[in-house]
Chains A and B, each alone.
Chain A
């Protein structure tokens, strides 16, 4: 027999050669030192591997100390769930509800919490205390969760903390560059007197802000009441309870406020998110108006388009181009002029005066309350929603298969996924909102909110895939995963469309899927190689 190869040596040692072949190898080894050496090395390597793999250097984790009796009820996760609910209740009962009541007494009568929180609430005197309270509670919840998640990665956590603190110190130590903006803090009010001119941008914080002079740059304000009587050559960007523009704005007006009144002139566009918007008779907007508002009255002149979603909309003035309106109620008065097309979509038939001058017959779509099960469009829309979710899920499968699988798998652990889902559903937007209000963190806050929305939408993907697995089994492969996703999403779509129960099912699916995604991402935080190498 000639020299044998490594494969033959391995098969010989593992007893996989037939008797005659094995005998040949045995004889050859006796006569050939080279092959004997290789056989010895391969055999010894087997022992080496066995010893390395059998090493009992890692004790069994505490949570595996007891035998699982059934699908064990996760007390820890139930506690997390309770903690999340408790945190939410504390926020509501201890902070938000009293604040809302106090605000109501003080004359803030709007019922929409979000509006209060981000618009008028931002300028309430007690905001500092509120911010602190909310921040402490929300931060404590997140910190507790983060600490739990990273409990085995203290080293990594410490390094990250040092890096973040280092960056913060560097930022503090670095002198801030001279910006082309003048920053004013009202005491508590601020007035730019008539005759005075600010050559740069003007950023103002104050209770009452009055601009009688001129601003050659942008005007950015965070105040309760803002009145612009002078001239602003740039944009007016305003977070305020009330904004009144009596003067002239050379750029755009962008506002998030409780009310916006324009009696002067805006050369460009108006972007408005407010509870009440009035374009007075003398007011002129030469660009377009776009926004969402509670009640809107357009009595003045608009040069461009109107694109608006509103509770009620009343048009008495003139519109130079098209009007695209989505509203509960629309009134077009006798003095109204709309040069372009008028499109209306809403639940009530609009009141259009016969004297109103419209460029073309209005296009009116009346929406029924609730879904119209008799229309094909309703079902087609469901199919579209299913298709969009399916394509999104496909992207997850192809781009991040491991995360997709882990998140789907984590959904099976309903207790822990619901626990984390509730926590992150509540805490993430609060934190992001607080970060946004600090302005400095606006980008971070908005990015967080965007990721949050993506995560919320993705939730149905993971739960759908799990539902599909229950129906089709867990066969391996992209095709099987795709089929599971398609069927599971279809089932969810049907369940979510059910009257009354559908909303609750959607909430459940969202929380479960969000929790699953959080758990899956947590898994991915752990370095792959290091984890086993430590063993």
Chain B
């Protein structure tokens, strides 16, 4: 959709046009639902969150700055909502920033990383993602699904900007381990896959 068409659509939504609101929703609901599905634990959580996010969007549409991309703003609202849901369900914080920075990372073997990418399907990546700590999972989804900048990720997750890189790298390592574990847990599938 062109910028002008989007601006017209948003203006109609702001004016209370139900058809325009329906159109805006149809264009973006699937993407937001998918984001929720990637970060929240259950499908029902994602369904509820999607509805709640669009209710918020409708309320906050007046504060949307048209100079910024609408999709980015939408993802920001959605990710804030999801992160709020996730962190309020936890009692213990994730590891503090300092602790995480000090944790040593094993130096990767490029061939192993590429082998992992060759052997494992997107489905296995998503299964591995589900097993990551909330903040790691959130960071990966914000960066590689919502295409957020380091600044936006830092703002959403409430961490220092300089820490975002550490967070992403740590999350990648955790994901590699989790994905490798899915295959290790199903040796028959691996051998069958290798044969085919």
Q: CA separation between A59 and B168, bound complex, in Å?
A: 29
Q: CA separation between A60 and B143, bound complex, in Å?
A: 22
Residue A56 lies at the interface, judged by CB distance under 8 Å to chain B: yes
Chain B positions within 8 Å of A478 at CB level: 91
Chain A positions within 8 Å of B165 at CB level: 7, 10-11, 14, 16
A-B contact count (CB 8 A): 155
Q: Which of B21, B111, B126 contacts A52 (CB 8 A)?
A: B126
Q: Which of A60, A72, A398, A402 contacts B30 (CB 8 A)?
A: A60
With A67-B22, A401-B89, A523-B45 already in contact, the answer to whether A38 and B110 are too (CB < 8 A) is: yes
Residue A112 lies at the interface, judged by CB distance under 8 Å to chain B: no
B44 contacts A532, C-beta separation under 8 Å: no
B41 contacts A532, C-beta separation under 8 Å: yes
A533 contacts B110, C-beta separation under 8 Å: no
From 28 to 65 in chain A, residues with beta carbon under 8 angstroms from any chain B beta carbon are 34, 37-38, 40-42, 44-46, 48-61, 63-64
Q: CA separation between A526 and B113, bound complex, in Å?
A: 32
Q: CA separation between A318 and B19, bound complex, in Å?
A: 85
- Tell me what chain A mostly uses at the interface: helix, strand, loop, or mixed: helix
B125 contacts A48, C-beta separation under 8 Å: yes
Chain A positions within 8 Å of B183 at CB level: none
Stretch at the interface among B2-10, B69-77, B127-135: B127-135
Q: CA separation between A99 and B113, bound complex, in Å?
A: 74
Residue B100 lies at the interface, judged by CB distance under 8 Å to chain A: no
Q: Which of B22, B30, B113, B129 contacts A45 (CB 8 A)?
A: B113
With A7-B169, A528-B41 already in contact, the answer to whether A68 and B54 are too (CB < 8 A) is: yes
Chain A positions within 8 Å of B168 at CB level: 10, 14
From 115 to 131 in chain B, residues with beta carbon under 8 angstroms from any chain A beta carbon are 117, 122-123, 125-127, 129-131
Interface residues contributed by chain A, number (CB under 8 Å): 59
Q: CA separation between A405 and B130, bound complex, in Å?
A: 20
B122 contacts A64, C-beta separation under 8 Å: no
**Using an 8 Å CB-CB cutoff, how does the interface string of B18-58 with A read, 1 for contact, 0 for none?**
10011011100110011001100111110100110011001
A533 contacts B127, C-beta separation under 8 Å: yes
Q: CA separation between A66 and B117, bound complex, in Å?
A: 37
From 136 to 159 in chain A, residues with beta carbon under 8 angstroms from any chain B beta carbon are 152
- The residue on B at minimum CB distance from A8 is B165
Q: CA separation between A390 and B136, bound complex, in Å?
A: 34
Chain B positions within 8 Å of A398 at CB level: 91
Give the distance to chain A from B48, nearest Cβ to Cβ, in Å.
Answer: 8
Chain A positions within 8 Å of B90 at CB level: 401-402
Q: Which of A7, A11, A50, A531 contacts B41 (CB 8 A)?
A: A531
With A53-B145, A476-B87 already in contact, the answer to whether A69 and B42 are too (CB < 8 A) is: no
Q: CA separation between A402 and B45, bound complex, in Å?
A: 12
From 88 to 126 in chain B, residues with beta carbon under 8 angstroms from any chain A beta carbon are 88-91, 105, 107-108, 110-111, 113-114, 117, 122-123, 125-126
B88 contacts A405, C-beta separation under 8 Å: yes
- The residue on B at minimum CB distance from A469 is B88
Residue B84 lies at the interface, judged by CB distance under 8 Å to chain A: yes
A52 contacts B125, C-beta separation under 8 Å: yes
B47 contacts A531, C-beta separation under 8 Å: no
Residue A372 lies at the interface, judged by CB distance under 8 Å to chain B: no
With A60-B33, A532-B37 already in contact, the answer to whether A42 and B126 are too (CB < 8 A) is: no
Residue B159 lies at the interface, judged by CB distance under 8 Å to chain A: no
Q: CA separation between A61 and B42, bound complex, in Å?
A: 13
Q: CA separation between A60 and B27, bound complex, in Å?
A: 12
Q: CA separation between A114 and B14, bound complex, in Å?
A: 58
Q: Which of B44, B50, B51, B127 contacts A529 (CB 8 A)?
A: B127
Chain A positions within 8 Å of B78 at CB level: none
With A10-B168, A535-B126 already in contact, the answer to whether A474 and B42 are too (CB < 8 A) is: no
B30 contacts A406, C-beta separation under 8 Å: no
- The residue on B at minimum CB distance from A45 is B113
Q: CA separation between A42 and B110, bound complex, in Å?
A: 8
A533 contacts B126, C-beta separation under 8 Å: yes
Residue A363 lies at the interface, judged by CB distance under 8 Å to chain B: no
A60 contacts B42, C-beta separation under 8 Å: no
Residue A199 lies at the interface, judged by CB distance under 8 Å to chain B: no
Among A63, A402, A405, A531, max chain B CB count under 10 A is at A531
Q: CA separation between A507 and B25, bound complex, in Å?
A: 39
Chain A positions within 8 Å of B22 at CB level: 66-67
With A53-B145, A476-B88 already in contact, the answer to whether A37 and B110 are too (CB < 8 A) is: yes
A58 contacts B41, C-beta separation under 8 Å: no
Give the distance to chain A from B2, nearest Cβ to Cβ, in Å.
Answer: 21
Q: CA separation between A72 and B55, bound complex, in Å?
A: 10
**Using an 8 Å CB-CB cutoff, how does the interface string of A1-24 with B read, 1 for contact, 0 for none?**
000011100110010100000000
Q: Which of B47, B88, B91, B127 contacts A64 (CB 8 A)?
A: B47
B89 contacts A405, C-beta separation under 8 Å: yes
B107 contacts A5, C-beta separation under 8 Å: yes
B51 contacts A68, C-beta separation under 8 Å: yes
B55 contacts A68, C-beta separation under 8 Å: yes
Q: Which of A5, A54, A152, A529 contacts B131 (CB 8 A)?
A: A529
Give the distance to chain A from B51, nearest Cβ to Cβ, in Å.
Answer: 5
Residue A397 lies at the interface, judged by CB distance under 8 Å to chain B: yes
Residue A71 lies at the interface, judged by CB distance under 8 Å to chain B: yes
Chain B positions within 8 Å of A7 at CB level: 165-166, 169
Give the distance to chain A from B38, nearest Cβ to Cβ, in Å.
Answer: 6
Q: CA separation between A67 and B47, bound complex, in Å?
A: 12
Q: CA separation between A69 and B144, bound complex, in Å?
A: 31
Among A38, A60, A532, max chain B CB count under 10 A is at A532
- A selection of 16 A-B contacts at a CB cut-off of 8 Å is A6-B108, A10-B165, A41-B113, A41-B114, A44-B117, A52-B125, A53-B141, A55-B122, A57-B123, A61-B43, A67-B21, A68-B55, A70-B55, A152-B43, A401-B89, A402-B90
Known: A44-B117, A532-B126. 17 other contacts (CB 8 A): A10-B169, A38-B108, A45-B172, A48-B125, A50-B144, A52-B123, A55-B123, A66-B22, A67-B22, A68-B54, A405-B88, A406-B89, A476-B88, A526-B41, A532-B38, A533-B127, A534-B43
Binding site for A on B (CB under 8 A): 18, 21-22, 24-26, 29-30, 33-34, 37-38, 41-45, 47, 50-51, 54-55, 58, 84, 87-91, 105, 107-108, 110-111, 113-114, 117, 122-123, 125-127, 129-131, 140-141, 144-145, 150, 165-166, 168-169, 172, 175
